[in-house]
Amino acid sequence: MRRFLIGLLLILGLLWVVPAQAAVTPKVLLAYDSQNINEQAERKVDSVQRLLTSLNLEVHTIAIDQYHKGDLARYDFQGVITMINWPQMKFSSHHFVKDRQQFAGVKLHIGPQLVADEQQALDVQVKTVHHQQFYLTANRHQQLLPFSDSIQVVTQKNQGRAIGTLKTQIPTQQSQYPYGVLNGHNGFLPFYQRKGLSFLAASQLISELFGEQAGQQAPLLTLTHVTPVSKLKYLNQVSQFLYQQGIPFAVSATSIQVNTDMPAFNRYMRALQKIENRNGIIFLQTPEIYDTTKKTGPKLGKVMYRQLTDLTRHQVIPVGISTVNYWNQDDVYRARALDFSDYVLLLANPKAKAKVYARQSNTGGVYHRAYYALPARSLATVKSGTDLTQQSELQFNVPTAVTISLPSTKKGVASLKRQIKRTRWNWYNPATANFKTNLQIGNQAFRYQSGSYFVNNQQIVIPAMQVEQKKQSQPKPYKAAMNGFFDFQSQVLIVFIIIVLVILVVFFFIGRRVYRNMFRRK
């Protein structure tokens, strides 16, 4: 009876908690016509997913032709994004078009094929221009865009606001079109790019359209490709340099769950401790997976637990988990690897072929804070216009991690130092900002707040650990009773064969002498 009551209370508790959470997370439907992998449009889908997740929205992604009548209303979406990646194919669904027309929430259209009702809602007129190359100007910066075959631009805008301007290159034809258009709940982007000024402008539009408190924030400098087998010498040099320059930073570092008793693992731990002591924070990056089975979930859970335990045992306390975006679109990965922390860093997806889902859900998880990882080189646009790294007032509208790969050569380290010295904007400082993370492993709670680490609410000091030179002991192989016999038998046979060999050789010579004597004249 008592058990039953407890069970009942638990269920009631869950019922009470779940809707309360669901109510606060707004949902957005991201509907694309095609992933168009040939044109790498799947990377654009990935980028938009991450942007929306970093705006704390729950992203549901579908292909338009998978849309069922009434989905928009049934699942209580607050916004819908139409993304056209392969206009030649004209994939569509009249249910979707009709439902979208009646939908009262936020609507964004990315790409061509802006239909009449969308144009009406935006209060714009559009036309298609062919074979053009445009300059994009926004916030006093400008960027030369790649040549485009065909692009749908807004020719007349009656209301609303434009973000950025597209100008043709031809001097005689001084036509200008707005880039992003915002009108109330409606938005339009003629195209989407993952880098440069056009990304910044697009992210500004998306955050203004969806975000209630779209504020600007400084980007977090993040070193990626930090692994236990990285060149630790260079990792130490880079962290030392950043510390001397007074630049706070983060690393997205993987760990390992085997051979952790080797000195090599201690050296890695020491390098990460140094980072913590040098005003750096650590995101634990999720491991590589090549194939999945039914057991992937529990195994992954164990691996993550083991890695986190090993790290924290060495006083390396991750502030969050970093992962490739598709892990956040997967039920198993999210539950077993990402839910350890409320802070995540979302890296771009690998190539389509390298994506291995365990249970693809197409529904993104939502976190207290999700960083959008933006490679630093995608801002170094000096060749095509303003070098964005030289701008001190660059707008980042979502939590952004500007990422740089850890170099693996001396030359690479020098060039990284130059690159960082050149950058003019301010970096985000987790030690002074409102950056408070929790990490629950078993019964231990780890917390990072204002530059300090806490274990079970007790502040700890990260020491510079001495590398212990543990004696390597080879594990003794298990010996079965019969093995002894077989080993013994092997030895006996070897001895036996040696004896036979010796006797044979002796006989050989004796026989030879006898044989020769037969012919020798006496």
Partner 1 sequence: MVIQQFKSKLKLGYSWFARHISPAQFAVILAALIIGWLLFVPPIHGYADNGDFYRVMYSNGLYHRLGQAYNHNAYVVQTYGIMRYFNEHQATLFSSQPLFVQLAIGLNKLFYSRTIFDIRFLGLVYYLFYLGALYLLTEALTFPAKRSQNYLVALAVVFVFADSSLTLYFNSLFAEPVMLLGMLYAFSAFLLLARGRYRRRWPLMLTFFVSVILLITVKQQNAPLALSFAIMSLALLALVQKRHNRLFIYLATLLVLGSGVATYMLITKDFNDINGYQTMTRGVLLKSKNPEKALSEGGIDRQFALLKGTTYYQNYMPLSTRSAYMQKNLIQRYNFTWVLKHYLRHPDEFSTMLNLVAKDGQLTQVKAVGDYVAASGQPKGAQTHYFTLYSTMMGAFFPRKFAFYVLYTFTLILVYAFSAYQGFKEHQPEMIMRFSFVVAATTIILGVMVVAIVGDGDADLAKHVFMVAITSDLLLLLLGSDIANHRLWQPIVSS
Q: Which stretch binds partner 1 (CB under 8 A): 4-12, 216-224, 288-296, 460-468?
A: 288-296
Q: What is the smallest separation between the CB atom of 295 and partner 1, expressed in angstroms? A: 10
Show the CA angle centred on residue 349, arms to residues 204 and 229, nearest 5°: 120
Rounded Cα–Cα distance for residues 471 and 473 (Å) = 6
DSSP H helical ranges for 142-253: 196-210, 232-244
Q: Which stretch binds partner 1 (CB under 8 A): 158-166, 174-182, 289-297, 424-432?
A: 289-297
User: Which of 73, 460, 467, 500 is in the footprint of partner 1 by CB under 8 A?
Assistant: 500
DSSP H or E segment with residue 181: strand 176-183
The 388-427 contact track toward partner 1, x by CB under 8 A, reads --------------------x-------------------
Would you say 87 and 99 are in contact if contact means Cβ atoms under 8 Å apart?
no
Would you say 87 and 111 are in contact if contact means Cβ atoms under 8 Å apart?
yes
User: Which of 8, 9, 11, 494 is in the footprint of partner 1 by CB under 8 A?
Assistant: 494
Q: For 32-46, b where at least 16 C-beta lie within 10 A, e where not — what string?
A: bbbbbeeeebbbbbb
Would you say 47 and 391 are in contact if contact means Cβ atoms under 8 Å apart?
no
Name the residue nearer to partner 1 (CB basis): 217 or 415. Answer: 415
Q: Any contact of residue 37 with partner 1 (CB under 8 A)?
A: no
Q: Any contact of residue 195 with partner 1 (CB under 8 A)?
A: no
Would you say 248 and 427 are in contact if contact means Cβ atoms under 8 Å apart?
yes
Name the residue nearer to partner 1 (CB basis): 114 or 413. Answer: 413
Tokens of 415: 């060039």
Q: Any contact of residue 258 with partner 1 (CB under 8 A)?
A: yes
Q: Which residues have CB under 8 Å from 164's CB, separation 6+? A: 136, 137, 138, 178, 179, 180, 197, 198, 201
Q: In what order do the strands lie in the sheet with 58-63?
A: 58-63, 27-32, 79-83, 106-110, 186-189, 176-183, 161-168, 134-138, 141-144
Q: Any contact of residue 17 with partner 1 (CB under 8 A)?
A: no
Q: Any contact of residue 147 with partner 1 (CB under 8 A)?
A: no
Name the residue nearer to partner 1 (CB basis): 288 or 393. Answer: 288
User: Which of 251, 303, 348, 441 is in the footprint of partner 1 by CB under 8 A?
Assistant: 303
Quick one: DSSP state of residue 341?
Answer: B
Q: Any contact of residue 89 with partner 1 (CB under 8 A)?
A: no
The 344-383 contact track toward partner 1, x by CB under 8 A, reads ----------x-----------------------------
User: Which of 32, 177, 192, 265 is in the footprint of partner 1 by CB under 8 A?
Assistant: 265
Q: Any contact of residue 18 with partner 1 (CB under 8 A)?
A: no
**Contact set with partner 1 (CB under 8 A):** 225, 227-232, 254-259, 262-265, 267-268, 287-291, 293, 296, 299-300, 303, 354, 408, 472, 474, 486-487, 489-491, 493-494, 497-498, 500-501, 504-505, 508
